[in-house]
Amino acid sequence: MTGLILLLALAEPLLPGDARNAVKLHRMHCIGCHAADGTPTQAGRSLGAPMLKDPALVAGRTDDQLLTLLLKGTPKHPPPGTALTLLDAADLVAYLRAGLPSISDLFPDAAAYTAKAYTLQGPALVRA
């Protein structure tokens, strides 16, 4: 019976992460290279760290790709090591996906040049 429960637990899809918990995780693991607002710190810039909330970084990748990046890292992005669990990584993915910047976040004077500001959400962020 225990084996069946374990099998069912493994078969369940990954639930959306907790973006609020990710804020705490960011302070513990990421703040050295990515500032609180997601922009690269001086140390992060020297490593080529991207802006965390960059739509090109987040919207162009699947959750699995972001999880792999967070858990395994890249040559210039060392993973936080064993301190980051799969659930922690899922929380960080939710944080990255939450509240992607609008045009006015990236260009403060955008209202003077645009009639309306649009934010892509839900299905619009999924590539066919």
pLDDT in tens, 112-125: 666 555 565 666 55
pLDDT higher than 60, residue 3: no
Domains of the chain, start order: 14-103 (1.10.760.10)
Dump pLDDT digits (tens) for 72-97: 877 777 665 556 888 888 889 888 88
State the virtual CA torsion across 69, 86, 24, 65 in degrees, nearest 10.
30
Burial class (CB in 10 A: 0-12, 13-18, 19+), 2: exposed
**Model-level pTM?**
0.60
